[in-house]
Amino acid sequence: MNKKQIRLTEQVLHRIIKESVNKMLKENYVNEIIEKYGNPPYTAYFRYEGFWDACNDPKYLEDYILDVEKHYSSTMGECGQASICNGDEEEIFTIG
């Protein structure tokens, strides 16, 4: 068996470790969301604007929540209270 020696800078090693840890944390986050709130779809609702397209994949829920926060901030709250609900219409996240 031939072994190859790989040289890594400290910076590259830190990046590899960070990416691995973030991947594990995100997988854990998704599993916890599904366990706690059930399977998708998750739907965002703004009091004065109505519903957004649903988030059908829990691995994108974190980005979906951030998009809701950005939209709420960009309108300076004029869109009204923002809520994200699961398929049973149980609120899992609210702003405002």
Q: What mean pLDDT do residues 29-37 have?
A: 79
Tell me whether residue 77 is in a domain: yes
Tell me whether residue 2 is in a domain: no
Tell me whether residue 78 is in a domain: yes
For residue 27, what are the domain limits? 10-95
DSSP, collapsed to helix, strand or coil, labels residue 86 as coil
78, 48 in Cβ contact below 8 A? yes
Which of the four pLDDT bands, split at 50, 70 and 90, describes residue 25?
low
Q: How many domains does the chain contain in total?
A: 1
**pLDDT tens across 2-22, in order?**
777 778 788 887 788 788 777
Tell me whether residue 4 is in a domain: no
Phi, psi of 75 (to 5 degrees): -95, 0
**pLDDT tens across 61-74, in order?**
888 888 999 999 99
Tell me whether residue 69 is in a domain: yes
Look at 88 and 54; give whichever has higher pLDDT.
54
